[in-house]
C-alpha cells in the first residue's frame, strides 16, 4: 500500500507563495503518476496538476503560469509550488497517487492540507 502525507498549507495574503509537499511511503514503486487536487467551500474536488513517473506534467487552466508541480524521486516526494495566489485558490489541497499492481489500478489520497488566501 501507499501512504501520502501532505504539508505546507497555511494562511497567506493574495500575491504570496506557498509550496506544498506530498511525501509518499510504502510500496512507492507501483506509482505511475501523482497529482494535486483541491476542493473549495461548496465546490467539487478539481484537478490542479499531475505528474507522471516519466516527468510529464499537466495543469488545470486556472493555475497555468502560476503553479508548478515537481517531484524528487530520491525523497519520494511531490511538490506544488504556488505563486501569485488568489483568494479563489482557497481550498483543501489533496495529494493523489495512481499505482498499478498486477494490472489493477489503485488510487491513493492524502489527508489534505488547508490553503487560505486572504484579500
Q: Helix %, strand %, coil % for the chain, to 5? A: 10, 60, 30
Low-confidence ranges of the chain (pLDDT < 70): none
Q: pLDDT, tens digit, for every residue of 16-34?
A: 999 999 999 999 999 999 9
100: helix, coil or strand? Answer: strand
pLDDT recorded at residue 1: 87
The pLDDT of residue 102: 87
pLDDT computed for residue 6 by the predictor = 97
Closest CA to 24 of 70, 73, 77: 77
pLDDT of amino acid 27: 92
How much is the pLDDT for 92? 98
Amino acid at each position: 500500500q501507499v501512504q501520502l502525507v501532505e504539508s505546507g498549507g497555511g494562511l497567506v495574503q493574495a500575491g504570496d507563495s506557498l509550496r506544498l509537499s506530498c511525501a509518499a511511503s510504502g510500496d512507492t514503486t507501483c506509482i505511475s503518476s501523482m497529482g494535486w487536487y483541491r476542493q473549495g467551500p461548496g465546490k467539487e474536488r478539481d484537478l490542479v496538476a499531475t505528474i507522471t513517473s516519466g516527468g510529464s506534467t499537466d495543469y488545470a487552466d486556472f493555475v497555468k503560469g502560476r503553479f508548478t508541480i515537481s517531484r524528487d524521486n530520491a525523497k519520494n516526494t511531490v511538490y506544488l509550488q504556488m505563486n501569485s495566489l488568489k483568494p479563489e485558490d482557497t481550498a483543501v489541497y489533496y495529494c493523489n497517487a495512481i499505482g498499478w499492481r498486477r494490472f489493477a489500478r489503485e488510487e491513493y489520497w492524502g489527508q489534505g492540507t488547508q490553503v487560505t488566501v486572504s484579500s
